[in-house]
């Protein structure tokens, strides 16, 4: 099976390789770093990129642990049809970039964000690319910003999808607890959901860890209506199989590797040593760090965060688009808002009816944000000016009028500091069907015998 998967991965269109040092030590061994480039007009049916399509776009998935070559093949095909010249690295320690020249797995000391940043630099050098629009999703947003602050002259614009700014999870825990447990954030609908969550937690029908895990996934991927249905069914004992399914989601990413898709067993060193994924607060209901307690024992303890991104953001002079879903609990809206406040040319792009990672669930929102970033390249906005809120309408593939609409959102006094990505078609990413799957599972549970 593994051999067949590797053969399929090696057949990825646009796949290239370069030799990279395993560590930053002198005389380090080498490994083959894989990356993919799909350019409009080269070996495909899409038109060549227009002169105003901007620089190449480098996309970094989340994780750490997500591969690029296989999971995002369909996304790259869509990007090509929209005239985007896209590059994606297979992260060191993952998939096609997992092994050193002697065939052994890369060592844990090769897992450093600074080395990933230099891998990106090496790929751009190999392709003869001076500057890119760099796009990072979730963990990838941290890497994208790290690259931008390390090599600012190589970056034309930045898109941060579900951005993380620092290792600490305190802000995320506080937001999630306030919205869906304490009931101190949000509207009446959310306060009602929070009350139901608290009642179930006190009732002890399921453990607090199991309940918080299920609530987060259902809220982000399926929305408040489906979450309400889940809570009601838990209360009457009709959610058994749904809870069992939800318990496996997310944890399988760290407990088990899916070759060439999700491989956490090496890059987990970055997660725990540099980004403190095991950061925990037992007083919080949504304490995501607790779920990493056991798996963290296989890696180095948290040492130090490798970059102080918040301190470096004010020095960036390029457009920075912070893309944030209304239902994102993992990298919530306050984080994106802080990034925009710190960035001289920051724009907040919000997405209704969306949770975490547009790259994986809402690719049209990601493409719209990329076009917004490209439209702002070369424009100068007046720092500190309060501008009117903009709205970005959906665009068709290669739609020039849509591009004009995006530029219009940048034409206000000082440029628009916020846009609302309304009316875009959903789906298109690897996890885009999860919401409908959860709803189908709940419907099936309603037909099964009650059990509390």
For residue 110, the domain's CATH number is 3.40.50.1820
Note the pLDDT of residue 390.
40
338 and 405, same domain (yes or no)? yes
- What is the pairing mode between strands 132-137 and 155-161? parallel
Asked if 69 and 9 touch (Cβ cutoff 8 Å), the reply is yes
Residues 133 and 225 in one domain: no
User: Quick one: pLDDT at residue 416?
Assistant: 58
Q: In the prediction, which pLDDT does 14 show?
A: 96
E strands, 109-175, are 132-137, 155-161
* pLDDT score at 382: 38
Tokens matching residue 235? 């209360």
Beta pairing, strands 30-38 & 15-21: antiparallel
Residues 46 and 144 placed together within one structural domain of the fold: yes
Please indicate, yes or no, if residue 301 is contained in any of the structural domains. no
Sign of CA dihedral 351, 353, 355, 359: negative
Which residue's structure tokens are 């760290």? 254
**Confidence (pLDDT) at 48:** 47
**128 with 34, same domain?**
yes
Provide CB contacts within 8 A for 404, sequence distance 6+. none
Q: What confidence score (pLDDT) does residue 256 get?
A: 72
> What is the CB-side half-sphere exposure of residue 277 using CA atoms within 13 A?
23
- Whether residue 349 is contained in a domain is answered as yes
Tell me, yes or no, whether 426 lies in a domain.
no
With respect to residue 292, please indicate whether it lies within any of the assigned structural domains. no
Domain ranges, residue 179: 170-249+432-445
160 & 205 share domain = no
49 secondary structure, DSSP code: P
146 and 18 inside one domain: yes
Within a domain: 272: no
Residue 242 placed within a domain: yes
> Do residues 135 and 177 share a domain?
no
Q: What is the pLDDT along the chain (452 residues), one digit of tens a residue?
A: 578 888 989 999 999 999 999 998 877 799 999 999 999 876 544 444 455 568 999 999 999 999 999 999 999 999 999 999 999 999 999 999 999 989 999 999 999 999 999 999 999 999 999 999 999 999 999 999 999 999 999 999 999 999 999 999 999 999 999 999 999 999 999 999 999 999 999 999 899 999 999 999 999 999 999 999 999 999 999 999 999 999 888 665 666 789 999 999 999 999 999 999 999 999 999 998 888 988 999 999 999 999 999 999 999 999 999 999 999 999 999 999 999 999 999 999 999 999 999 999 999 999 999 999 999 997 654 333 323 334 443 334 444 334 333 333 443 334 559 999 998 888 777 777 888 999 999 999 998 877 65
- Residue located via tokens 């809570």: 231
Residue 398 has a pLDDT of 40
Tell me how far apart the alpha carbons of residues 443 and 222 are, in angstroms, rounded to a whole number: 14
* Pick from 414, 412, 404, 338: nearest CA to 372: 404
Q: 118: number of CA atoms within 13 Å, CB side?
A: 12
For residue 73, tell me if it sits in a domain.
yes
- How remote is the C-alpha of 202 from its chain's centroid? 33
pLDDT computed for residue 196 by the predictor: 98
pTM for the whole structure: 0.89
299-318 tens-digit pLDDT: 999 999 999 999 999 999 99
Structural contact between residues 300 and 269, judged by C-beta atoms closer than 8 angstroms: yes
In this structure, the answer to whether residues 149 and 207 fall within a common structural domain is no
Tally of domains within the chain = 2
Residues 244 and 376 in one domain: no
- Please name which of 286, 264, 266, 290 lies closest in space to residue 277, comparing C-alpha atoms: 290
- Same-domain pairing of 156 and 174: no
| Extended beta strands in 75-179, E state | 86-89, 132-137, 155-161
| 111, 93 Cβ separation under 8 angstroms | yes
In a domain, 290, yes or no: no
Residues 220, 79 share a domain: no
Cis amide bond preceding 161, omega within 30? no
Q: What is the DSSP letter of 303?
A: -
pLDDT of residue 54: 87
One domain for residues 235 and 381? no
């Amino acid at each position: 099976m593994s051999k067949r998967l590797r053969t399929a991965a090696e057949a990825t269109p646009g796949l290239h390789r370069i030799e990279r040092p395993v560590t930053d030590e002198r005389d380090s061994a080498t490994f083959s770093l894989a990356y993919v480039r799909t350019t409009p007009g080269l070996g495909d049916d899409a038109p060549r990129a227009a002169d105003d399509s901007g620089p190449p776009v480098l996309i970094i998935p989340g994780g750490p642990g997500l591969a690029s070559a296989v999971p995002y093949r369909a996304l790259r095909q869509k990007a090509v049809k929209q005239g985007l010249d896209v590059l994606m690295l297979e992260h060191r320690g993952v998939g096609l970039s997992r092994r050193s020249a002697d065939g052994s797995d890369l060592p844990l000391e090769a897992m450093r964000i600074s080395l990933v940043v230099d891998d990106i630099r090496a790929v751009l050098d190999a392709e003869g690319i001076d500057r890119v629009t760099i796009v990072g999703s979730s963990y990838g947003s941290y890497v994208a910003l790290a690259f931008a602050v390390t090599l600012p002259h190589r970056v034309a614009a930045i898109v941060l999808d579900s951005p993380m700014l620092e290792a600490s999870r305190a802000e995320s825990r506080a937001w999630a607890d306030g919205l869906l447990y304490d009931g101190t954030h949000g509207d009446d609908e959310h306060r009602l959901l929070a009350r139901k969550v608290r009642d179930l937690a006190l009732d002890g029908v399921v453990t607090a860890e199991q309940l918080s895990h299920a609530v987060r996934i259902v809220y982000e991927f399926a929305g408040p209506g489906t979450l309400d249905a889940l809570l009601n069914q838990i209360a009457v004992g009709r959610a058994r199989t749904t809870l069992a399914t939800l318990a496996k989601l997310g944890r399988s990413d760290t407990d088990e590797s899916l070759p060439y898709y999700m491989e956490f067993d090496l890059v987990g060193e970055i997660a725990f040593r540099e980004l403190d994924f095991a950061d925990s607060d037992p007083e919080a209901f949504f304490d995501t760090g607790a779920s990493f307690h056991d798996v963290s024992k296989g890696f180095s303890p948290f040492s130090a965060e490798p970059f102080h991104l918040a301190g470096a953001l004010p020095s960036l002079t390029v457009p920075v688009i912070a893309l944030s879903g209304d239902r994102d609990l993992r990298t919530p809206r306050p984080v994106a808002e802080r990034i925009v406040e710190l960035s001289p040319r920051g724009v907040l792009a919000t997405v209704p009816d969306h949770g975490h990672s547009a790259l994986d669930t809402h690719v049209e929102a990601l493409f719209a944000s990329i076009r917004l970033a490209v439209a702002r390249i070369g424009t100068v906005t007046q720092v500190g000016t309060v501008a009117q809120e903009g709205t970005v309408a959906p665009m068709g593939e290669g739609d020039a009028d849509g591009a004009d609409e995006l530029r219009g959102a940048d034409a206000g006094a000082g440029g628009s500091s916020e846009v609302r990505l309304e009316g875009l078609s959903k789906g298109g990413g690897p996890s885009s069907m999860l919401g409908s799957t959860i709803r189908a599972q709940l419907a099936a549970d309603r037909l099964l015998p009650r059990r509390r």
